[in-house]
Amino acid sequence: MLLPNLPPPEEGVRHRQCNTQAFMNARPLGSGTLYIAESRVSWAKDGADGGFSLEYPHIAIHAVSRDVSSFAHPCLYLMVDAKLEDSQAVTPNGVEGSDSEEEDDETAMTEVRFVPTDQFSLEPMYKALNDCQLLHPDPEDVQSDEKPSLVTPGGSHEARNGDLEDDEAMETGQFDDADM
C-alpha cells in the first residue's frame, strides 16, 4: 500500500524522472524525483525528508491523462485502491465526516498524479509503469489449471473438440475437389 518515507529503490529502476510534481487527490505535495522500479513506485521530495512508495498490487488503474478540464496539467494518473489521506474528511459545511468504517472500505480510493516538467516523458513513464505492473499480476485474475473456456458469458455455444455431431454427417468425398 502506501509506504511513507521509504528510501527510493536502488535496484530494478526502469525509469527515473527528476523535477516531477506529485499530487494526492487534488493536494500538491511538491516537486521531487519519481522512481518507477520493478518492486514499487516511489516519489522522493526534493531537498526534504518526505515522499512515499506505492506497491503495484494496490495500483488499480494507471494512464496518461491529457484532459486539462479534469486536472490542470497533463500527468501520469494512478488510482490506488486505498484511502491514503486522513481518514476524517471535512464536509463543505466544515463538519467532520462520520461515515461508517465499512462504507469507507468499500469506496476507499486515492488518485495520485505525477506531473513532470518535461511533458514528453509521460509516455516513457507510462511504459515503464505498465511493464512493472505486469510483473505483479492480480491474484484474482490468475487463471486456474482448468482449460480456458471459449464461451463468453451469456453465450450459448460450447467449446468443442472437433468431433462432428450426429446431425452434421459428412458425405464421402465432400472435399475431394478442394485446391491443395
pLDDT band for position 151 (cuts 50, 70, 90):
low
Residues whose CB is less than 8 angstroms from the CB of residue 123 and which lie 6 or more positions away in sequence, other chains included: 64
Q: Is the pLDDT of residue 127 over 50?
A: yes
**Is the pTM here over 0.85, yes or no?**
no
CA 100 to chain centre: 27
Q: What mean pLDDT do residues 115-125 have?
A: 97
Query: What are all long-range contacts of 44-49, with beta carbons under 8 Å and residues at least 24 apart?
Result: 44/7, 44/8, 49/5
Phi, psi at 156, each rounded to 5°: -110, 10
Q: How far apart are CA 110 and CA 84, in angstroms?
A: 6
Q: What mean pLDDT do residues 64-86 have?
A: 90
103-117: per-residue pLDDT in tens?
Answer: 455 668 999 999 999
CATH architecture of structural domain 2-86+97-134 = Roll (2.30)
77-96: per-residue pLDDT in tens?
Answer: 999 998 876 433 333 333 34
Q: And the C-alpha cell for 142? A: 490468475
The length of the chain, given as a count of residues? 180
Q: Residue 86: what pLDDT?
A: 46
Residue with cell 490542470: 72
Q: Residue 48: what pLDDT?
A: 78
Q: What mean pLDDT do residues 136-149 have?
A: 64
Q: Is the pLDDT of residue 49 over 70?
A: yes
Tell me which of 178 and 150 has the higher pLDDT: 178
Q: Burial code of 138-147, b = ≥16 C-beta within 10 A, e = fewer?
A: eeeeeeeeee
Express as a percent the part of the chain with pLDDT over 90.
50
> Which of 35-39, 107-111, 133-137, 156-160 has the highest average model confidence (pLDDT)?
35-39
Q: For the chain, give every domain's residue range.
A: 2-86+97-134
Q: Is the pLDDT of residue 98 over 80?
A: no
